[in-house]
Structure 1
Amino acid sequence: MTITQNRRSFLASSLGLVVAVSLPLRSRAQSGAALAFQPDGTDPTFAPNAFIRVAEDDTVTVIIKHIEMGQGPMTGLSTLVAEEMDADWSQMRAENAPADDEKYKNLLFGLQATGGSTAMANSYTQMRKAGAAARAMLVQAAAEAWGVDASTITIANGVLTSGDKTSTFGPLAAKAAQLTPPEDPPVKDPKDFVLIGKDRPKLDSHAKSTGQAVFTMDMDLPDMEYVVIRHAPMLGGTVASFYDTEAMKVPGVTAVRQIPQGVAVYATSTYAALAGRSALSVEWDDSAAETRSSAQMMDDLVNLAATGEMKVAEEAGDIDGTLTDAAQVIETEFRFPYLAHAPMEPLDAVIQVKDGSAETWGGYQFPGFDKQAVAGNLGIDPSNVKLNVMLAGGSFGRRAQPTAQIGNEIGAIAKAAGRDGAWKLIWTREDDLAGGYYRPMTVHKMRGALDAEGNILGWHDVVVNQSIMAGGPMEQMMEDGKDPTSYEGSTKMPYDLANLRVNWVRAESAVPVLWWRSVGHTHTGYATEVFLDQLLEAGGKDPVQGRLDLLKSDMTRDRAVLEKVAEMAGWDGQKVKGNKGYGVALHESFNTYVAQIAEVEDRDGFPHVTKVWCAVDCGVAVNPNVIRAQMEGGIGYGLGSVLFNALTLGEGGHVVEQNFDDYRMIRINEMPSVEVEIIESSMDPTGVGEPGLPPVGPAVANAWRALTGTNVTSLPFKTTAGA
């Protein structure tokens, strides 16, 4: 089988390098499935383990078990391997790993998965060991070839040396491939790091910026048909009946089939498929659909905050007595809307079925789930399904789908076709925004108790939202009927609050929900840090010093980032300077500590964020360039969401927002200047894909309140401060 591509000559030009299983010098990161297939017969590459291939041309290809969707695992994990191999950075390449839950499992999850900012955290030691093993085998191969003791051999910049003998990796690959890998090779002392801790350009930047990178949307197989699905307009609806007479009249439409997810239209082009879908007549069964509007649902959440079944997520001291006896009690209710992920590349997938086997390509974030889904739909053994993980044009959680939504859809499409063939499933932007799986709508009902001197005595937070984990394969991760992703970040705060209770109330809806970049922290970070600022202000406390005074004695990493960001911003206690307001927020998520200070102007009654200072402690900074980029990206993504974004259901439960004209992203002229400082650390690295997001919203809200006196408790800002 040959993969062709209809818009670029890049793929064809790279196929000549298949024998060496390496990548062109100018395209250093890609889905391996998109570029080449494993050659049959003799293979001259040296593959000491599941993660590394050394080719005769000296290239070192690192197999990345975490999907690359812009967050940087191809670069970060390749850095670990290069460091331990003493390779030269110019010879490093990266490919996404194929689906294999055992070989490429996330060590924190037990299956192959990308999420929770865990790529670096679970791979740090594993990938360094893999690189060290490869290095040891190359050294042994050189020692045997040269007749010298292995202890006399050094490696620097990809060159092995012993006396007057030298070699690059390639000439030793075949001999090294015959050796037995060491079981537990030693890794470097951090003081000897050459690449770790240094800025390196991302391996995938050149291919992506020049249009060479191959995404699922770019793929085109011989005789492939294009498929779009008419999904129910109301979330939870199903097909009652459909009429395809007019759709089948559209030139290029080859078939219309009902599948569990809706009605699929097959065609010889994307245009024909979309036109055929528009011509369909479908009657829907909305008996199980969500028919409430967002306003009605929010009212119901508010009522549940007072009357719902409250589960205790965390408790200390006597909060009820403290609230009763306090000199002052402050109450605030925070409201958070549904949010769509809106990645630049909507959901898509390609499948080819032939002789009882299937091969599929897609931006699969939980590939094992999708592989099982394809097999289940086709009624074949999973061993007969080859799943190739492609580069993904963003995700922010959308592709991390425990229900294997896209695997089920592409499998159902192939099954309904009733024959061998190839099909590409395409979602439009409208499909994506109206398709569900949103960040849950949430209410935080908060009460804080102050004494006569303005000190915080008590803290009560009632969190109300739907569970992401309940009812699916992740339900086993719930704790005593509680979903920790629903309230994470509102518990285990770094502040010394002797009297505290956090309650969670589970809400129900037919709207499917999913983790969204930083999951629970996206709303808990906002609610806790804005409410804390309110309490400090009411008590006459400085927002930075007040937080420092509240930190528990062992919260040294929280303290370090807070002190650093105050230093960066030149914090002097003045929350307003001229026409600018300043606000601070501190939040730990995914074991990464972040503090931010935002500078905000009032432009026609709406906040314009001019600068954000950010201090981050994520353990060892493997590649500072990637860390800064992720902090900047998280700030931009988070800022757009708090200022503008809300996915709303109108009367009758229909999704209102359909594209970027009414679900708008932050624009380039709205992006603030961002200054990032990384705290030096010897701790094992933690994630950076999500932790930059939670503090930016509350920092901006606190700055806006300081500047204008308006406390934004219902997001997005445009609903409170004006569009």
Structure 2
Amino acid sequence: MRFNRTTSLGSAATLSRRNFLVNTAVAGGGLLLSFSLPSGQSMGSVAGAFEPNAFIRIGRDGLVVLTMPYVEMGQGTYTSIPMLVAEELEVGLAQVRLEHAPPDEKVYANPLLGVQATGNSNAIRGAWKPLRQAGATARVMLVEAAARRFGDDARHCRAEAGEVIHMPSGRRLKYGDLVADAAMVPPPGKVVLKNADEFKLIGTPASRLDVSGKVNGSAIYGIDVRPPGLKIATLAQSPVFGGRLKNVDDTAARAVKGVSQIVRLNDAVAVVADHMGAAKKGLEALEIEWEEGTHAGLSTQDIARGLEDATLKAGPVAQSVGDAARAMATAATRVQANYHLPFLAHAAMEPMNCTVHFRGSECEIWVGTQAIARVQAAAAKAAGLAVDKVIVHNHLIGGGFGRRLEADGAVRAVEIARHVDGPVKVVWTREEDIQHDMYRPYWVDRIEAGLDKSGRPIAWINRFAGSSVIARWLPPAFSNGLDPDTTEGAIDLVYSLPNFHVEYVRVEPPGIPTAFWRSVGPSHNVFVTESFIDELAAAARQDAVAYRRALLDHNTRARAVLDLAAEKAGWGTALKKGHGRGVALQNVFGSYLAQVAEVEVANDGTVRVHRVVCAMDCGIVINPDTVQAQVQGGVMFGITAALYGEITLQSGRVKQANFDTYQMLRIDQAPAIEVYVVNSKESPGGMGEAGTSGIVPAVANAVFAATGKRLRKMPITPDALKA
């Protein structure tokens, strides 16, 4: 199960049309293609065969093996990205096989992020040109090889369905028969990619390549791996972040059948056993005493007050247009609001887990991660080993949502594995997963707008405070007190606002760790901006859709999705008493999306979302089925946050523990979701997160339409509506 073959894609910093795919070789009976390497970086060889850090490999059987630098966590990456290669290579999707890329931060970096990671809805955006170039280059070389066999010019040959056809004679040669010859063909300096009207595969519904394995049980997630001799461990970490383990009485735990070992760490204790049942029983039998540390008295209210105070102080300017302060002074009407968004957990279906075999001089890891190189580096540090002594196998992920961009789970597993003879799989219980998550930050916004006599906004001032995950996770991207994730959705709005000023005040909350959460910065900013635009429409006594449309001016893409969503939702038609429609519009992750939510508010304050209509322009669509699924999943994720999502601290402890106290949207509560896609020739945008960021304000605005109550703090609770 180890990666014995070194593969690489080329440094993101040097990736260009000129240096792309310049090495070819025959190795293992196939054609290998790779990115060129930065100056001074050497090629690798395996078993005496020249193997130039392969990205695409074509075997003598004609199968195309794609070493995948991105991970599959339910978003369809392992289908949509192979479609890019297959399109230009002129093969069917069924002809493509995948293998996980090994950790290599330098050569497998996402060209948009600069690090080896899957996140920020940019796998397709990052792969769009490079992987099509890879497929096109391979096709050109195969056609040239075939032309030489035919004794003719390549202009008289074409590729189709994994073969090269000699057009004058009709003779055909399969790719598998050409790989040895193609490896001898000098790679082209550049290739011409297909125009959108030439696509055969891109834009058509494609069945997911990973479905069969997930249905028949052969798909391997991180939690499924079972190397020989495996033990299972589960753990309890200090209930207060920053606390320490003081004392453990493990007498009763050791008496549990199947328990083999108790591992004590500075701030945690783990029970190692033959199976999870025994490990859990052993953990429950432990008598643990904690030193709670300095955060034992912390509450969510303390953090919220600190953030409110921070919004009273000036922060770095994220964007400033015109003179908002002067325009505000001349406004006919001023509207001011404070918004609060809570900490949120990820609560992925697959709880945190990692399997480690620590052998002293090396360490082998099996995990599902969004950032494999980061896991390798962190695990090496925890193990006290050089990075090249840590072998990491990546697997399918049962829900990431940003949680698995972090390496803390792997570090914990390594810390435990160092005390265990043989491989050990560390599985977090659901309670441990929720109470020791790394949470979506708590946010507070202080926002104000000035309207002219017609109700049109002439001034917009927003100052918000909260944690910058980027500052910790990718320090170079945090500059002058700002980062692009924290501000996305708060700046560069779709609306024409002549005087616009936004400031961000970084405040890191004490006693609770923060991390990326599905739709990251926009999960906060779009709620605020789209709720506030709705407030302005109400203050101007204008229809919410018409008010937005009047501010779009020359933004034709935004106007098109807004009009389509409103039309399909029947905007303006009568609804039953207690029902309301709300709208939200955004341009985030490179995609435009408008959403209309229809909700019902019962007399007891219970909110039910009956229908959601989504209209989007996400550029060229790769797989329409994936777009539909991603929007639907994002909407469900966002509705859960809108109605139930909240992590609270009391006495330094996270109060929520399982799905009874951190509720998910139930299947009988799921709304009807309609997805409409605008035909677009623009480059693809991201779709994994846009559905989540837009639905929360759409639901909140719908609640306002139904009740007249404006909710500026999430989640939407019956108590807040009855107040």
Say if 1:606 and 1:722, in contact at 8 Å, map to a contact too: no
Alpha carbons of structure 1 residues 455 and 575: separation in structure 2 relative to 1, 3 Å: farther
Aligned to 1:335: 340
1:114 corresponds in structure 2 to 118
Distance between the aligned counterparts of 2:539 and 2:188, measured in 1?
62
Counterpart residue number, 2:468: 467
Q: Secondary structure at the match of 1:694?
A: helix
Match of 2:15 in 1: none
1:394 paired residue among 393, 399, 402:
399
Identity level (%): 36
Instruction: Give 2:356's match in structure 1, choosing from 330, 347, 351.
Output: 351
State the Cα distance separating 1:396 from its structure 2 match. 0.7
One-letter code aligned to 1:557: R
Q: Distance in 2 between the 1:668 and 1:588 partners?
A: 29
TM-superposition CA deviations, 1:457-492 (whole Å, max 9, x none): 22222212222233x342221121234433431122
SS of the residue 2:412 aligns to: helix
What SS class does the counterpart of residue 685 from structure 1 fall into? coil
Map of 2:621 onto structure 1: 621
Q: 1:544 to 1:520 in 2, by over 3 A?
A: same
One of 91, 94, 99 as aligned partner of 1:95: 99
Code of the residue aligned with 2:720 in structure 1: it is T
Instruction: Report the counterpart of residue 159 of structure 1 in structure 2.
Output: 163
Q: Is the 8 A contact 2:222 2:394 kept in 1?
A: no
SS in 2 for 1:695: helix
- Do the aligned partners of residues 181 and 706 (structure 1) sit closer, same or farther apart at CA in structure 2, a change above 3 Å counting? same
SS at match of 1:69: coil
Structure 1 equivalent of residue 390 of structure 2:
385
SS in 2 for 1:586: strand
Please tell me whether residue 547 in structure 1 is matched to residue 548 in structure 2: yes
Q: Residues 336-359 of structure 1, C-alpha deviation per residue, up to 9 Å, x if partnerless?
A: 111001111011112223472222
Match of 1:414 in 2: 417
Q: More displaced, 627-636 or 449-458?
A: 449-458
| Cα 1:619–1:290 shift into 2, 3 Å | farther
| Structure-2 residue corresponding to 1:43 | 28
Displacement after TM superposition at 1:174 (Å): 4.5
TM-superposed CA distance for 1:541, in Å, is 1.9
SS class of match (2:392):
strand
Which moved further from structure 2: 610-619 or 596-605?
Answer: 596-605
Question: What amino acid does structure 1 have at the position aligned with 2:375?
Answer: D
Q: 1:447 to 1:164 in 2, by over 3 A?
A: closer
CA contact (8 A) 1:234 1:291 kept: no
Q: Does 2:533 correspond to 1:528?
A: no
Conserved 8 A contact 1:232-1:238: yes
| 1:303 paired residue number | 309
* 1:52 equivalent in alignment to 2:56: yes
Report if the CA contact (8 A) 1:350-1:361 is conserved: yes
CA distance, structure 2, for counterparts of residue 660 and residue 168 of structure 1: 54
SS at match of 1:558: helix
The alpha-carbon deviation at position 95 of structure 1 amounts to: 3.0
Instruction: Indicate the SS of the match to 2:404.
Output: coil
Tell me what 2:201 maps to.
195
Alpha-carbon shift at residue 177 of structure 1 (Å): 4.6
Structure 1 match to 2:23:
none
Distance 1:197 1:290 in 2: 54
Aligned partner of 2:374 among 354, 369, 373: 369
Question: Residues 174, 280 of structure 1: CA spacing in aligned structure 2 closer, same or farther, 3 A cutoff?
Answer: farther
State how many pairs are aligned. Answer: 679
**For 2:691, what is the secondary structure of its paired residue?**
coil
- Superposition pairs of residues 183-332 of structure 1, within 5 angstroms: 183-260=189-266, 262-289=268-295, 291-306=297-312, 308=313, 310-332=315-337
Deviation at 1:626, TM superposition (A): 0.9
> In angstroms, what is the RMSD of aligned CA positions?
2.6
Task: Answer yes or no: is 1:591 the counterpart of 2:594.
Answer: no
TM superposition shift of 1:714:
1.6
Residues 238 and 556 of structure 1: is their aligned pair in 2 closer, same or farther, counting only changes over 3 Å? Answer: farther
**Greater mean alpha carbon deviation, residues 533-542 or residues 338-347:** 533-542
Give me the whole-angstrom Cα distance separating, in 2, the residues matched to 1:430 and 1:274.
Answer: 12
Q: What is the alpha-carbon distance in structure 2 between the residues aligned to residue 618 and residue 347 of structure 1?
A: 32
Contact 1:374–1:411 (8 Å) recurs in 2: yes
1:518 maps to 2:519: yes
Is contact 1:305-1:445 (8 Å) kept? yes
Give, in whole Å, the separation in 1 of the partners of 2:616 and 2:622. 13
Deviation of the 1:146 alpha carbon: 4.3
Partners of 2:530 and 2:247 in 1: CA distance:
50
Report the equivalent of 2:434.
Answer: 433
TM-score, L = length of structure 2: 0.88
Query: CA shift at 1:172, angstroms?
Result: 3.2
Closer, same or farther: CA 80–639 of 1 in aligned 2, 3 Å: same
The aligned residue for residue 11 of structure 1 is none
Contact 1:494 1:552 (8 Å CA) reproduced:
no
Cα deviation for residue 610 of structure 1 reads 1.8
What is the deviation of 1:207?
1.8
Contact residue 309 and residue 506 of structure 1 kept, 8 A: no
Deviates more, 1:698-707 or 1:237-246: 237-246
Paired residue secondary structure (1:332) = strand
Q: Secondary structure at the match of 1:687?
A: coil
- Which residue in 2 is equivalent to 1:476? 476
Q: Contact (CA 8 Å) 1:334, 1:713: kept in 2 or not?
A: yes
- Give per-residue Cα distances to partners, 1:297-345, cap 9 Å, x unaligned: 3233333333x45333233344334444433222222221110011110
Match of 1:646 in 2: 646
C-alpha contact 1:160 1:168 (8 A) present in aligned 2? yes
Residues 310 and 503, structure 1, Cα contact 8 Å, conserved in 2: yes
Report the alpha carbon displacement of residue 114 of structure 1 after superposing the two structures with TM: 0.8
**Shift of residue 434, structure 1, vs aligned partner:** 0.4
- Shift in Å, 1:180: 5.0
Distance across 2 between alignment mates of 1:324 and 1:2: 67
8 Å Cα contact 2:327/2:458 also seen in 1: yes
SS at match of 1:693: helix
Query: Are the counterparts in 2 of residues 714 and 720 from structure 1 also a CA contact under 8 Å?
Result: no
* Per-residue deviation, 1:393: 0.4
Q: 1:260 to 1:54 in 2, by over 3 A?
A: farther
Match for residue 140 of structure 2 among 131, 136, 143:
136
What letter matches 2:274 in structure 1?
Answer: T
Amino acid across the alignment from 2:625: N
- Contact 2:244/2:290, CA 8 A, preserved across alignment: yes
2:594 pairs with 1:609: no
SS of 1:212's equivalent?
coil
Q: 1: CA distance between counterparts of 2:267 and 2:175?
A: 51
Uncovered stretches (5+) of structure 2, i.e. residues with no partner: 6-25, 35-53
Is contact 2:578–2:707 with CA below 8 Å preserved after alignment? Answer: no
Post-superposition Cα deviations, 1:252-276, rounded to whole Å, max 9, x if no partner, equal: 3232223355223222222222222
Structure 1 pair 296–709 and aligned structure 2 pair: CA distance change class (3 A): same
The amino acid that maps onto 2:232 is: Y
The superposition leaves residues 116-145 of structure 1 with CA deviations (integer Å, 9 ceiling, x where unpaired) of 111011111111011112222332343344
Equivalence for 1:662: 661
Distance in 1 (alpha carbons) for counterparts of 2:267 and 2:519: 28
How far, CA to CA, are the matches of 1:383 and 1:119 in structure 2? 26
- Structure 1 residues 253 and 577: alpha-carbon distance in aligned structure 2, compared to 1, 3 A threshold: closer
For residue 649 of structure 2, give the secondary structure of its aligned residue in structure 1.
coil
**Equivalent residue number for residue 673 of structure 1:** 672
| SS of structure 1 residue aligned to 2:339 | strand
Letter of the 2:218 counterpart: Q
Is the alpha carbon distance of 1:703 and 1:341 closer, same or farther for their aligned partners in structure 2, counting shifts above 3 Å?
Answer: same
